[in-house]
Amino acid sequence: MDKEQKKAVMLLKSLILHYHGLDDDERAILENAANRMDSKEELDWANNFISEDYLSAFERARDFFAKTIVKFSNADRITHLQDAWEENHEKGYVTEMETTAMINLSKDWQVEKEFLEVIQN
């Protein structure tokens, strides 16, 4: 995975976990993901991206994803959404807003049907 793709993945994870603010458990989930992917720099970039303007972060991220996600296969898109879904569950709950955000992204990424199958299981 190249640097831009790592940025996209870390932005996805960080965006979803920041949805209601970032607590210590969520921060640890992100740090573990960054360590597994060797993408600490990309996580820092994603967190800075979000902190630039928290209220517009989701829409700005959608614009960023529109330029980078095309580099991923549909299978990779599903894998990254599923990873974000599962990591979000690690904190013990997933809110309706987080779920809606991921479904909207799956629609943008043209893998909505497949992602809905993932979350229904």
Reading the block at residue 28, the tokens are 């640890």
Task: Say whether pLDDT at 66 is over 90.
Answer: yes
* pTM confidence score: 0.93
Percent of the chain whose predicted confidence (pLDDT) is above 90: 87
pLDDT band at 93 (very low <50, low <70, confident <90, very high): confident
pLDDT computed for residue 19 by the predictor: 86
The pLDDT assigned to 84 comes to 94
Q: Which residue matches tokens 């991923």?
A: 72
- Percentage of the chain exceeding pLDDT 70: 100
- Across the chain, what does the average pLDDT equal? 94
CA distance 121 to 119: 5
- Identify the architecture of domain 3-120 in CATH: Orthogonal Bundle (1.10)
Question: How confident is the model over 51-61, as a mean pLDDT?
Answer: 95
Give CB contacts under 8 A, 24+ apart, made by 95-103: 95/19, 95/20, 97/19, 97/20, 98/16, 98/19, 98/20, 101/15, 101/16, 101/19, 101/58, 102/16
- Average pLDDT of span 67-85: 95
